[in-house]
């Protein structure tokens, strides 16, 4: 049950309500890591409260519940982080498309690989800009946090996509069929 641990991780970082968690999910985790909508998050928060992993630490003006992690929740998150990985199978539609590229004929393959390389390069450039902003907003010598680590990962991921697509194009150009 990764949703539970994702919520624990976000709440350890910052105490917040279900609405904020929904947006945080969308903004930071949804791209590469995990995804969940509010209709899944609210019931899970209730269950986690019942299980003693989190608790309501404050109530906002319009009846919102601000959650925080209990000691038991911290223990559970740590236990999960150290547990052997690979339990939940990975699902990534983009990677699936990559793996199925060879089901296309050569002209189609070229067009798609070129498109993938282009969009990945754009995304990498965009994230590089975001990273510069983070760096600028962080006083020199200060340690980076969560956001910087995640952004660095994302940048490298998009570069991988771009470079792999270019490598495929290079392989294709070496083929006898190439004109």
Q: Binds 173, which of its own copies, DNA, none (CB < 5 to 8 A, cut-off by type)?
A: none
Stretch that binds DNA, among 17-25, 77-85, 125-133, 153-161 (CB under 7 A): 17-25
HSE-up of 151 (CA within 13 Å, CB side)?
A: 16
Q: Binds 22, which of DNA, its own copies, none (CB < 5 to 8 A, cut-off by type)?
A: DNA
Largest CA distance in the chain: 69
* Residue 19 found at the interface with DNA (CB under 7 A): yes
* Residue 57 found at the interface with DNA (CB under 7 A): no
Q: Give whichever of 63 and 85 is closer to its own copies, judged by the CB atom.
A: 85
C-alpha distance from residue 162 to each of 79, 113, 121, 150 (Å): 36, 9, 6, 19
C-alpha distance from residue 39 to each of 18, 82, 131, 154 (Å): 10, 29, 32, 27
Q: Give whichever of 57 and 150 is closer to DNA, judged by the CB atom.
A: 57
Q: Give whichever of 39 and 103 is closer to its own copies, judged by the CB atom.
A: 103
């Amino acid at each position: 049950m990764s949703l539970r641990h994702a919520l624990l991780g976000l709440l350890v970082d910052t105490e917040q309500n279900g609405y904020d968690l929904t947006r945080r999910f969308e903004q930071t985790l949804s791209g590469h890591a995990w995804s969940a909508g509010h209709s899944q998050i609210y019931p899970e928060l209730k269950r986690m409260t019942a299980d003693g992993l989190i608790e309501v630490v404050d109530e906002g003006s319009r009846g919102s519940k601000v959650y925080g992690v209990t000691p038991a929740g911290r223990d559970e998150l740590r236990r999960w982080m150290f547990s052997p990985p690979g339990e939940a199978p990975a699902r990534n539609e983009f990677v699936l498309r990559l793996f199925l590229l060879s089901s296309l004929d050569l002209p189609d393959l070229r067009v798609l690989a070129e498109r993938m390389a282009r969009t990945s390069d754009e995304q990498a450039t965009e994230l590089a800009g975001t990273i510069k902003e983070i760096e600028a907003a962080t006083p020199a010598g200060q340690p980076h946090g969560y956001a910087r680590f995640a952004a660095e990962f994302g940048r490298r991921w998009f570069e991988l996509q771009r470079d792999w697509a270019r490598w495929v194009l290079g392989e294709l150009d070496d083929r006898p069929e190439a004109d």
